Amino acid sequence: MNPVLLVETRDKVGLIRFNRPEVHNAINEDVMNALSEALDAFEVDPNVACVVLTGSEKVFAAGADIAAMRNLEFVDAYTTNFVTRNWDRLKTFRKPVIAAVNGVALGGGCEVAMMCDIIFAADNARFGQPEVKLATIPGAGGTQRLPRAIGRTKAMDMVLTGRLMDAQEAERSGLVARIFPPGQVLEEALATAATLAEYSLPVLLMLKESVNRAYEAPLNEGLLFERRMLHATFALEDQKEGMAAFVEKRKPEFRHR
């Protein structure tokens, strides 16, 4: 049987691809368990600085596997902590993750993309939370992350109607960072990941933590956290090297310390 995820490293970038083409990369337990395992390995791998998560050239992921969950009962979902037990690894992963989206990112697929730090999309990509049509709700973060990404009224429009949003609207709305011609999105995500991998890893972690604080803390707490992180950068050898290199008009050589 084919692996449900394809995992490899390209220089300092970890590349993870959904691989269930027969069901439009629908996400089942095996996929999320394998994703958690891959992230565990990348987290502790000192040679990996950044991760790209993608599907195929045709589809990112058409959501949670409907056939696999159609008979799920409340008591089982509740007692086994359905979703939380293996979807949250992406949330706790500390290195930057770029989602490269071709085709559709629907339901759980859209929610996984929103758990990434940056979304790049092909200009034929489409996003949506169509769970209402199945009489369930976006329960892997969609009702919380979508309004934070695109605002309340647009998020309401999306989750209540279940309509799809094209890449242009997604980019205008702030869900997607950048759009590219089809066929180029993965290449561009890998190139951006490679650029990040050249920067100081502790600084990337501090940036990710600081920006995420903007979603989780009142402004003054977030500002305080940011200020302390700024102060902490002055304890890094990389900060000395980065500023010395600028003054000496040369390329910095970061040691990630």
Q: Which of 107, 111, 113, 167 is catalytic?
A: 111
Q: Which residues contact 158 (CB under 8 A, 6 or more apart)?
A: 128, 129, 146, 150, 165
Instruction: Give the shortest CB-99-to-ligand CO8 separation in angstroms.
Output: 16
Q: What is the distance between the alpha carbons of residues 177 and 96, in angstroms, rounded to a whole number?
A: 14
In the residue annotation, 111 being an active-site residue is answered as: yes
Q: What is the distance between the alpha carbons of residues 150 and 252, in angstroms, rounded to a whole number?
A: 37
Instruction: Give the shortest CB-215-to-ligand CO8 separation in angstroms.
Output: 20
In this complex, which beta carbon is closest to ligand CO8, that of residue 83 or of residue 217? Answer: 83
Q: Which residue is nearest to ligand CO8 (CB)?
A: 107
Q: What is the DSSP letter of 178?
A: E
In this complex, which beta carbon is closest to ligand CO8, that of residue 49 or of residue 105? Answer: 105
Residue 68 structure tokens: 């696999």
In the residue annotation, 64 being an active-site residue is answered as: yes
In this complex, which beta carbon is closest to ligand CO8, that of residue 130 or of residue 252? Answer: 130
In the residue annotation, 109 being an active-site residue is answered as: no
Instruction: Give the shortest CB-93-to-ligand CO8 separation in angstroms.
Output: 18
Instruction: Give the shortest CB-134-to-ligand CO8 separation in angstroms.
Output: 6
In this complex, which beta carbon is closest to ligand CO8, that of residue 38 or of residue 48? Answer: 38
Instruction: Give the shortest CB-171-to-ligand CO8 separation in angstroms.
Output: 21
Residue with token string 């939380």: 84
Helices (H), the chain: 29-44, 66-69, 74-79, 84-87, 89-92, 108-115, 142-150, 152-161, 167-173, 185-198, 201-216, 219-233, 237-247
Confirm if 61 and 26 have CB atoms less than 8 A apart: yes
Residue 111 structure tokens: 């929610």
Q: Which of 64, 105, 122, 170 is catalytic?
A: 64
Q: Which residues pair with 50 in a beta bridge?
A: 13
In this complex, which beta carbon is closest to ligand CO8, that of residue 133 or of residue 227? Answer: 133
- In sign, the C-alpha dihedral spanning 145, 148, 153, 154 is negative
User: Which stretches of the chain bind ligand CO8, using CB under 6 A?
Assistant: 23-24, 26, 62-67, 69, 83, 104, 106-108, 130-131, 134, 136, 138-140
In the residue annotation, 41 being an active-site residue is answered as: no
Q: Which residues are the active-site residues?
A: 64, 108, 111, 131
